[in-house]
Structure 1
Amino acid sequence: MGGLWLVMGLLARGAEAGCPQGQEAFTSCQMEGLGTEVFVCFDNQTATYSYGPIGGPADLTLSESIERVDFEPWSGLGKAISESVTFFNQDYGYNVVGGFDRPFSEEDMQRPIRRFGWVEVTEGGERIARLECIPETVSYGFGGGLHDVKVAAGQTWDWDSQTWISDAVSSASIPLLLKNHQYSDEFDCLPPSELRLNGIKMGAPVGALSKFGTPKATDATSFSDEPIDRIALIGANIDFFQDVVVNMSTISPNWQTPSGIRVGLTRGEVIRILGRVPSGYTARSQNFVIPACPDIPDTHSEDAYREWFALIEFGQDKRVNRVVLLTSTE
């Protein structure tokens, strides 16, 4: 085992030259046939990505906080040890992979270590390019590194959702998701009281929200092709039909449901809040659509039950990018 750690140390040497001052290299390499190089570096607060001509100024530099950086640790399986870090720039993602084959015997230790790596570029979650590393230039410091820094920041890796979960996100003693039986079918649902954003509830009358302004006419229509009115707030839209709230949507982390579901949470954090993966979905689904429970009255509302749904949408960074509460029928 001591020989393996020695090999990993040798693989990690020599990459710090391309890192910002005070940061150490996680992985780096030169790209096959392009005359370019990539560096992923980090300290206790920030991870950085840089790509550009060998020895020259970077063409692209990105940074992300340790808490938010999308780092995927080694699975512990197979002969190859590899880990990846993904940085996002608007609709683009840059996934950097570094790794090597671990030696299992003294004979393996006598052979050159096979190194590998690449950069995969995505747009809107779809791969548009894959740049291969020159194997002998791959530097990858397995052991500790980003994993230990993220753990020190109070995060735990969840293999099911392939995301990190903050220790600050706790699950309720009773799962938020409830089981509902209707017409011999069983499905998960949310208490109607959960379908609120910052205290504004579905089905609320327009008069109760007068402090937010007056709804304005929009081009949107209801299911019966009637016009929808809207109050556009900072970070959220509140839609009305017949002077009642029928839809709410947000792309801002400043708006949240009573349980704390909000933009910016990882998929694993949402699942922890819900108590389990909603029926009909997996821990890696791109969205969850969850109905309100039809047989549980909203004790905070005088309104009759409506068919309400919560849409939780995840972006390519595996974090919530939109929360929508909506009414399917009027």
Structure 2
Amino acid sequence: MRFMLASLFLTLGTSQAYAHCHQRSATVLTCTIDQGAKQLEVCLDGEEVIYRFGPPDAPALTLSAPISEVAHQPWPGIGRAIWESTTFQNGAFSYEVHGSFDKLGQISDGRVTVRKNGREIASLSCDSGSTELGLFAISDAKEAAGQCWDPYAQRWGAC
């Protein structure tokens, strides 16, 4: 069932999003921000998760992390929206990318929250209609790498 949902969400979104994930990469989330002036994208390339943010043709920030080390909060399986979040670290800064799909409204959405030393300094929402999601891609990759989510401890560990 989850594979079918993941396949469905890979096609959600509109042609307004400027997806830059390479052909061999899986899209986790892409969208535009600030009426298309900026592009946010998270891609899964093999066992590496890549974050890019900035102008669509020249990202100002690119971060990557191995699938086994990236912080990822999977959807708990309940509620009106299906959602996941992935957090990238860069020194004192963290970039939490959140993607969701409202099952009733049939709307995809996303945002990035930037924190410095744990304190929120920015929260940017995706332009309406520009979000393309590949929900479960990171969760599935973590499981393929031998990690399992412990919902009680709220962390990934060995299966």
> TM-score interval w.r.t. the shorter chain?
0.7 to 0.9
Correspondence for 1:158 among 142, 145, 150: 150
* C-alpha distance in 2 between matches for 1:33 and 1:121: 19
**Shift in Å at residue 12 of structure 1?**
5.9
Q: 2:11 is matched with which residue? A: 10
Residue 19 (structure 2) pairs with residue 22 (structure 1)? no
CA gap of 1:7–1:113, structure 2 versus 1, over 3 A, is: farther
Per-residue CA deviation, residues 49-74 of structure 1 (Å, 9 max, x unaligned), is: 000112x1110000000100111111
Per-residue CA deviation, residues 99-142 of structure 1 (Å, 9 max, x unaligned), is: 11114xxxxxxxx6222211000001111100011120011122
Where structure 2 has 5 or more consecutive residues not aligned to the other structure, the ranges are: none
RMSD: 2.4
CA gap of 1:12–1:41, structure 2 versus 1, over 3 A, is: farther
Give the alignment's TM-score, normalised by structure 2: 0.86
Kept in 2, the 8 Å contact 1:70–1:86? The answer is: yes
Q: 1:145 is matched with which residue? A: 137
Q: What percent of counterpart residues are identical?
A: 35
Give the alignment's TM-score, normalised by structure 1: 0.43
Superposed, which structure 2 residues align to 1:162-311 within 5 Å?
162-167=154-159
Residue 43 (structure 2) pairs with residue 51 (structure 1)? no
Kept in 2, the 8 Å contact 1:12–1:27? The answer is: no
Higher Cα Rg, which structure: 1
SS of the residue corresponding to residue 78 of structure 1 reads: coil
* C-alpha distance in 1 between matches for 2:132 and 2:82: 13
**Shift in Å at residue 161 of structure 1?**
3.0
Higher relative contact order (CA 8 A, sep 6+): 2
Report how many aligned residue pairs link the two structures.
155
Residue 67 (structure 2) pairs with residue 66 (structure 1)? yes
Decide which structure has greater strand share.
2
Kept in 2, the 8 Å contact 1:117–1:135? The answer is: no
Q: 1:128 is matched with which residue? A: 121
* C-alpha distance in 2 between matches for 1:44 and 1:13: 25
Where structure 1 has 5 or more consecutive residues not aligned to the other structure, the ranges are: 104-111, 168-330
**Shift in Å at residue 9 of structure 1?**
4.0
Residue 92 (structure 2) pairs with residue 91 (structure 1)? yes
